[in-house]
Structure 1
Amino acid sequence: MKTTSSQKIKIGLFTVIGFVILFLAVFYIGNQKSMFSSTFKVYGIFRNVSGLTVGNNVRFAGINVGVVESINIVNDSSVRVDLTLNNSVKKFIKTDSKMSIGSDGLMGDKLVVIAPGGISSNTEVAEGNKLNTVNPIDVDKVINKLTKVADNAEAVTGGLASIVNKINNGKGSIGRLLNNEQIAEDLEGTVKQARKTIKGVHATTATLNEDLKAAQSNFLLKGFFKKKEKAKRDSLKKIQEAKEKAQKEREKAKKEAQERAEKEAKEKAKNNN
């Protein structure tokens, strides 16, 4: 079948359009991956990259500024992550800037986030510099801990439910106390009796105090209380006299010691002369 001119024109147009679309796609992808702009490289060492892959975005101040160039295992506890960044953000990244691994939304792809820095150093980062890193949280460990907490909470809840059920059915001491009206009435009677006893003790104490005051005023016992008061005063007087005597003896001993020291000092000075 012979191809007509219109068909040739259509084929040519489709071919040109295909090349334009391919060119635009390559340009767009290259622009997203910083393939057509001036770039520089930095790296960081992580213990765990949490699913980060080569080609994931790098963000600075919420803006995509580069991509993850490579991820290599250094040893059993270190993973090196190399980044390719746009040269336009180089002046904003300092040597004390930190790399961390985050997510693009709750369920999005992993990405590297660079904190600005400039707190302890204002030196601009250079090509191939190593940046400090903040290791990501181990999600598996967190989930395991939450699972254990949930299991423990379930066990505690089940235990409490069993205890409450026994109490409601009148089992155990607390259950019998709460569900047996006779025990409750006996306990209430015991409390009332205790209150009456306490009131009686207070009344007896007040009566004894009044009787003691009355006895002190009675002329038959007045002499006894006066002798007791006099003996108390005499005892206090003797204690005070003993304290004064001891004080005088201490002062006398101190004075004698001072005089002996002065006498010895004079004799020593005389012998030296």
Structure 2
Amino acid sequence: MRNDNQKSVIVGVFVLLGIAILVAGILTLGGQQKKFVKSIKLKAVFEDVAGLQTGNNVWFSGVKIGTVRKINFYGDSQVEIEMSVESKTSDYIRKDSKATISSDGLIGNKIIVLYGGTTQSPPVEDGDRLVAVMPLDTDKMMETLQENNNNLVSITNDLKNLTGKIADGKGIVGAVMTDTVLQENFKAILINLERASVNSNRMIGELTTFSSKLNKEGTLFNDLATDKEMYKNLQASISDLQATADNAKELTGNLTTVTEKLNRSDNAAGMLLNDAEFANTLKNTMDNVDSSSMNLNRGLEALEYTWPFRRGFVRKAKAEAKAAEKN
């Protein structure tokens, strides 16, 4: 009997321990799943839940605030997520907050992450539906990475071919890098370009100095640019020059007309210049006039010795002699 009682006591102790462990486990699991806290329900509709399961955690600002309660199909091909969130956190979650699907670590379980929201929007209430934001699709990311890898391989092959051609001296770059003569020519071109650049800079500096001198007060250019009275005088001088040019043009035209008339034989001056026969006749006439004048002078001189005029010439000579003595 005593052994039976001991066995009963031992069995009872183990049963109590088992019940205590069971209760502790239930309380622990319930605490993790937020089964024994006051909560509200929030919803969000996703195009794809990416492996999210009932019981996964809900996070807000890095803090676990609830769990995924239900996953239901919605509409044609969407999925509605029902979340159980602690009611004490509802004051911090706004109606314009967003929900997205993320991972607990790099390869951990899927979780719901709540974020965003502004203070201008009121806090969420039981049954509110948040805006869902689709997460980055890892499959599409891998496809993009694969495509980028293929592009990188293609670029690497192109670079390999390009460097090979350059090493073989093909193309302009290859020729410059392998041909010493071309290198010297290219170097000379660069030196000439540098000299040209230096000369250009010097010329620009000289032009700057020249322009500053032109803009200096007291210079002709500055006076022309700023002195209105000088500008008026210069304008008047230009007008006078224009009038002089017009007169010269008119005079040139008149001279041209006179020259044309002189080159013709239908006028006296033109005949004198162009008619040889008339010129000879005129020359003979002048010669005759000259001869006649000489004969006339001789005749006048001979009159002095003729009897009718001799006494008059004597008187004239005496008068001139007396006048000379008085002086």
TM-score when normalising by structure 1: 0.63
Structure 1: unaligned runs, 5 residues or longer: 199-232, 239-273
Name which one, 1 or 2, has greater alpha-carbon Rg. 2
- Kindly, what percent of the aligned residue pairs are identical? 30
Ranked by relative contact order (alpha carbons within 8 Å, sequence separation 6 or more), the top structure is 1
* CA gap 1:183/1:126 in 2 versus in 1, 3 angstroms: closer
Alignment of 1:115-130 (within 5 A): 115=115, 117-122=117-122, 124-130=123-129
Contact 2:94–2:119 (Cα < 8 Å) also in 1 = no
* CA gap 1:156/1:44 in 2 versus in 1, 3 angstroms: same
**Shift of the alpha carbon at 1:51?**
2.1
| Paired amino acid for 1:105 | G
Counterpart of 1:92 in 2: which secondary structure?
Answer: coil
Contact 1:100–1:135 (Cα < 8 Å) also in 2 = yes
Alignment of 1:12-23 (within 5 A): 12-23=12-23
* CA gap 1:16/1:237 in 2 versus in 1, 3 angstroms: farther
Q: Return the alpha-carbon distance in structure 2 between the equivalents of residues 136 and 189 of structure 1.
A: 57
Counterpart of 1:82 in 2: which secondary structure?
Answer: strand
What is residue 62 of structure 2 aligned with on the other side? 62
Q: Return the alpha-carbon distance in structure 1 between the equivalents of residues 116 and 175 of structure 2.
A: 68
What is residue 251 of structure 1 aligned with on the other side? none
1:114 paired with 2:114, answer yes
Q: How many residues align?
A: 200
Could you list the per-position Cα deviations for residues 122-174 of structure 1 after superposition, in whole angstroms to 9, with x for gaps in the alignment? 2x322212112222112221221122112111111111112112221233444
* CA RMSD across the alignment: 3.2
Counterpart of 2:132 in 1: which secondary structure?
Answer: strand
What is residue 181 of structure 1 aligned with on the other side? 180
What is residue 89 of structure 2 aligned with on the other side? 89
What is residue 304 of structure 2 aligned with on the other side? none
Contact 1:99–1:131 (Cα < 8 Å) also in 2 = yes
* CA gap 1:181/1:117 in 2 versus in 1, 3 angstroms: closer
Q: Return the alpha-carbon distance in structure 1 between the equivalents of residues 145 and 240 of structure 2.
A: 75
* CA gap 1:81/1:237 in 2 versus in 1, 3 angstroms: farther
What is residue 274 of structure 2 aligned with on the other side? none
Counterpart of 2:73 in 1: which secondary structure?
Answer: strand
Structure 2: unaligned runs, 5 residues or longer: 197-237, 244-327
